[in-house]
Amino acid sequence: MLDKWTWQMANRDSKGSRRRLLPFLSAMVIGVAALVAILSFGHSLERTIDQDAGSLLGGDLRISSSDPFTPTEELLIDSLGGMQARRVSFATSAKFSGQSETRTVQVRAIEQQFPLYGDIAVSPHGAEGEMHSGGSVLVPRSTLSAARVEPGDTVTIRGRHFLIAGILLGARVENAIHMLFEPPVYMSLADLDSLQGSSATYDVFFRFNRDMDLVALEADIQKSYEVRTRIVEDEKEDWQEFLALLEGFLGVVGFFALILGSLGVGSVLQVHCKERHDTVAVMRCLGASSGRATSVYLVQAIAMGVIVGVAAGVVGTLGQVILPLGIVDLLPVDINYRVSLKGLLSGLGIGVGATLLFALLPLSGLREVSPLEALRTAYGHRRIRKSRLGVYALIALGTGLCAWAQSGRVVIAIIYTVAIGICFGLLALTALGFIKLARAITPQIRNYAIRQGMANMYRPNNQTLLMVLALGLGTVMIMTQVMTQGAVVGAYETMNFEAVEFPDLVLPTVSSEELEDVRNLVREHGLDIVSQEIMISLAVDSIYGRSIADSAMVDTAGRSNADRSSHFATFADARLDSLTVLEGTFEPEWHDTVGAAPVAMNSLLAREELHVAVGDTIVFRVNDETALVRIGSIFANAALQSSFVPLAARGIILPRGVLETLPHVRSIMLKADDTQSLSAFYGTVTDRYPDLPVLNVPLILGVVQKVFSRITYMIRFMSLFSIIAGIMVLAGAVMVSRQARVEQTVLLKTLGASKKQVYTIMCTEYLCLGFLATATGLGLAMAAAWAITGFQLNVVMVVPKVPLAVAAGVLMVLTLGVGLLNSRGIYARPPLEVLRAEV
């Protein structure tokens, strides 16, 4: 039925309504553009990484070892041929000229041809050549700034002085986030022979000039040699997984803006179609079928969807450049932005699909219009047909499919769809309840203007339901993001680095041979030991008497869930009094040397990895020794407040009195009164024990917070789409009621109402709508944020009182401002304009 007449009629009918449709179409454009920006950005980054994967790895193949390569491995390296480059990496302490304290640096000793793909960015030009000539190093800008030195100064590394030849600006082969934790210092591989120390990682990079099956080659090397390998495809897969997670997360945020825009389009079409009942009735009287009459407005919906899709494609393509600005220095490559055909087609498809989906409900109402309505406007009372229930189900299905497409997980899609449905339901019930309440209490209000404003909440053509849904849902989505983000940021900002429970340094693996000497160094430098914990690495040998090979816990690769990695255990101490036991009884001591010792196990390890319960028996293997234990209790997967090391990371807690003879290491946490003694201890322990890892806790937490703040930029950028879409929907919701306001104002003016009274009536109505929607939306947002922070992020939610009060005030002022702005000039309209229109 979409013939020429239908298109001409649709065009003619829409001429008087295009201006009113603009805010809702703009909201829909914003929502779809958010998703297009994400898709386009992800596509551009994926394409760039695919082209430059070799520069990210440094070659086509990398072979690594924690020890110098054996003669057999050297034969393998020679046999592979191709272009080769070697790199040796190790962590050590360094002392810069003019500084008394030492700093940790990650040294990269490289050959001149490294990297085989890409290059190293340095300043000034020629500094890299000077480094390879010997006796010089390249130092990152962040390290130079922290040490207050510049090129031309010197640095002492393991007893040898090196000239700082220049600034290391960056290299694609270096992970940007790792560079924040461990800024690398580059030196020539030829200088490595003059340095002391044994702890290092040895890498050989290959670039092949012929086609080679790298996957098969990697499998053959891993099968025959005790080395680690990595190929270009591994690098691509890792980044593709990261991109999938990033697109899924941001897609859900953009999905909120799309729902807001869809709500606006559906709402305006509902009002638009309702106003066209007379037109449809006339067409029915002239012989048009219900389907043919409805097709006119179906064409309008299709045109709206196409306009939305095209406009969103343009805006989203431009938005992909702005989206990653906050994290551009964390990305591995310089993105080559291009117009993404996939993004444009997705925008067009989403625009048309979402518009048609939310247009189904008002269009279904037009099919029920009877020809008699052209003669009697009050004819009949249409009931809700079963077809409308089908439309509701279709809208819910479409919403779920869109959520699934953005998140990539069915469970997440179901949760979001159900949550949005619940929000819609509660907001609608609140609006309908308030309408009944207003109808009951309005007659008791003595002030005429306020009484009329309250009466507008339930009179015919009122916008109470629409505005509460639009403003309330926008408030829920925006404030949920704000409160969730605030809770996570607050978890970092409230960390007190001066408190005893948060150490300055952590020595996670101090062996029994090193323990006494490390303790002496701690005392010599005046540091305090916060805690000492025994850490034992356990591997599962058998469960309930069955070996791992016979267990059903085997994945598709033939690996057991239990033996993929070691599980860490510690012994119970006095600081575990606050342990949250979910099942069984926690026993901190056990002196029976015959029976199986009861252990406490983390719920995540017990239920999801080992699939064991209280009472089950497990045989653990520690090197060549075995230990029989039983599950005595299962504790909650949470972190202790009194310890830096999360309890969840420990996995297993052993009772005191048994198993102390098993091979173990100690995790020592230290606190210093000043930075000088801390730096001195750090330099001494890293020089004496180069293989001993030392964790700088404030540095790690600071880097984590810095990375999180970059990601927060992207969250705020996506939230901006939701805010703009919400404002557009709010403006549109007010605009569709303008004609009703004109009629009401003219009648009041004719009856003698003053301008002050008219605007008092409007202010009363808009303030009531703003308060109702804001209060309900903020309540639902607090519930949603509490659920997300408590059950998914596992952080404590603190209600941000000031931001909530500011948000409530802004939303109410926004509602009032948009309403009054849209009502400007209404009082000046002449009465005859409305009276003649009625005639």
**For the residues of 36-55, what is the DSSP string, one character each?**
HHHHHHHHHHHHHHHHHHHH
Domain boundary among 671, 698, 733: 671
Task: State how beta strands 652-654 and 567-571 pair.
Answer: parallel
pLDDT digit string (tens) for 695-750?
777 766 666 666 666 666 666 666 666 667 666 666 666 666 666 667 777 777 77
The pLDDT score that the predictor gives to residue 138 is 92
The pLDDT score that the predictor gives to residue 186 is 92
As a whole number, mean pLDDT of residues 552-565 equals: 40
Place of tokens 């880097």: 703
The pLDDT score that the predictor gives to residue 739 is 60
The pLDDT score that the predictor gives to residue 326 is 60
The pLDDT score that the predictor gives to residue 136 is 92
On whether residue 320 sits in a domain, the answer given is: no
pLDDT > 90: percent of the chain: 4
The pLDDT score that the predictor gives to residue 458 is 84
On whether residue 644 sits in a domain, the answer given is: yes
What's the CA dihedral at 594, 595, 596, 599 to 10 degrees? -100
CA-based nearest residue to 753, from 460, 452, 459, 455: 452
CA atoms of 691 and 450, how far apart (whole Å): 78
The pLDDT score that the predictor gives to residue 137 is 92
pLDDT digit string (tens) for 122-159?
888 889 999 999 889 999 887 888 778 888 889 988 77
pLDDT digit string (tens) for 440-457?
888 888 888 888 888 888
The pLDDT score that the predictor gives to residue 219 is 87
pLDDT digit string (tens) for 6-23?
888 888 877 767 776 776
CA atoms of 453 and 767, how far apart (whole Å): 10
The pLDDT score that the predictor gives to residue 206 is 92
pLDDT digit string (tens) for 568-586?
777 766 455 556 788 888 8
Paired tokens of 547: 């070996």
The pLDDT score that the predictor gives to residue 407 is 66
pLDDT digit string (tens) for 452-486?
888 888 877 676 777 787 777 767 766 776 677 66
pLDDT digit string (tens) for 309-341?
888 888 888 877 776 666 666 665 666 677 777
Tell me: pLDDT of 520 over 60: yes
The pLDDT score that the predictor gives to residue 248 is 65
On whether residue 517 sits in a domain, the answer given is: no
Rounded to 5 degrees, φ, ψ at 658 are: -140, 160
As a whole number, mean pLDDT of residues 180-192 equals: 82
Instruction: Name the 3-class secondary structure at 231.
Output: strand
The mean-pLDDT minimum among 481-495, 570-584, 680-694 falls in 481-495
Cα end-to-end span (Å), the chain? 34
CA atoms of 208 and 204, how far apart (whole Å): 13
The pLDDT score that the predictor gives to residue 645 is 45
The pLDDT score that the predictor gives to residue 544 is 73
Highest mean pLDDT among 201-205, 246-250, 264-268, 600-604: 201-205
pLDDT > 70: percent of the chain: 74
The pLDDT score that the predictor gives to residue 85 is 92
Burial track 381-398 (b if 16+ CB lie within 10 A, e otherwise) = eeeeeeebeebeeebeeb
CA-based nearest residue to 629, from 607, 606, 645, 604: 606
Its domain, for residue 80, covers: 61-211
pLDDT digit string (tens) for 71-88?
999 999 998 888 999 999
Tell me: pLDDT of 644 over 60: no
Average pLDDT for the chain: 76
As a whole number, mean pLDDT of residues 797-825 equals: 77
On whether residue 169 sits in a domain, the answer given is: yes
pLDDT digit string (tens) for 200-249?
889 999 998 877 788 888 888 888 888 889 888 887 777 777 677 666 66
CA atoms of 552 and 354, how far apart (whole Å): 45
Domain boundary among 671, 693, 712: 671
Tell me how many domains the chain contains. Answer: 2
On whether residue 315 sits in a domain, the answer given is: no
pLDDT digit string (tens) for 339-367?
777 777 877 888 888 888 877 877 877 77
CA atoms of 565 and 540, how far apart (whole Å): 9
Question: Widest CA span of the chain, in angstroms?
Answer: 104
Q: Which residue has the higher pLDDT, 161 or 318?
A: 161
Q: Where are the beta strands (DSSP E) in 214-341?
A: 228-231
Highest mean pLDDT among 416-420, 441-445, 527-531: 441-445
The pLDDT score that the predictor gives to residue 735 is 63
The pLDDT score that the predictor gives to residue 163 is 92
The pLDDT score that the predictor gives to residue 496 is 44
The helix, strand and coil proportions of the chain, stated in percent and rounded to the nearest 5, come to 55, 15, 25
The pLDDT score that the predictor gives to residue 561 is 41
On whether residue 539 sits in a domain, the answer given is: yes
The pLDDT score that the predictor gives to residue 550 is 45
Instruction: Name the 3-class secondary structure at 163.
Output: strand
On whether residue 628 sits in a domain, the answer given is: yes
The pLDDT score that the predictor gives to residue 643 is 43
On whether residue 477 sits in a domain, the answer given is: no
Domain boundary among 623, 639, 671: 671
Q: Give residue 124's identity as a one-letter amino acid code.
A: P
Instruction: Name the 3-class secondary structure at 284.
Output: helix
The mean-pLDDT minimum among 109-113, 645-649, 714-718 falls in 645-649
The pLDDT score that the predictor gives to residue 363 is 80
Q: Give residue 126's identity as a one-letter amino acid code.
A: G
DSSP letters for 549-585: GGSS-B-TTS-BSSSSS-EEEEE--GGGTT--EEEE-
Cα dist. 485→249, 326, 795, 796 in Å? 13, 16, 11, 12
Q: Which residue has the higher pLDDT, 557 or 372?
A: 372
As a whole number, mean pLDDT of residues 179-183 equals: 68
